[in-house]
Amino acid sequence: MNIQINNQPLSLPDEARLTDALVSFSATPLLYAIAINGEFVPRAQYSARALKQGDRIDIIKPVAGG
């Protein structure tokens, strides 16, 4: 299947999960907030969340401020 991560195309097996996509993209899952098609996914669901053709994943880095 073909998906996008941060607007970059990525091809994965049809049975891929969110964690598979993050590993393929070299992202450390616990350091980021993740949204699929605009909906945030709780960290506890990363390994269970199945992906589908055309999904758009956004990896959001935390921002420190003061």
**CATH code assigned at 34:** 3.10.20.30
65 within some domain? no
Helix (H) or strand (E) holding 24: helix 18-24
* Cα–Cα nearest to 18, from 62, 65, 63, 39: 39
pTM beyond 0.95: the answer is: no
Q: How many domains does the chain have?
A: 1
Average pLDDT over all residues of the chain? 92
So what's the pLDDT on residue 63?
78
Segment 27-40 shows an average pLDDT of 87
Is 49 within the bounds of a domain? yes
Q: How many CB atoms lie within 10 A of CB 19?
A: 15
Determine the length of the chain: 66
- Residue 8 domain boundaries: 2-60
pLDDT of 41 > 80? The answer is yes
Instruction: Determine the pLDDT at residue 29.
Output: 67
Q: Distance between CA atoms of 30 and 18, rounded to whole angstroms?
A: 12
Does some domain include residue 53? Answer: yes
66 assigned to some structural domain: no
Only one residue has tokens 């393929």, namely 24
| Mean pLDDT computed over 36-41 | 97
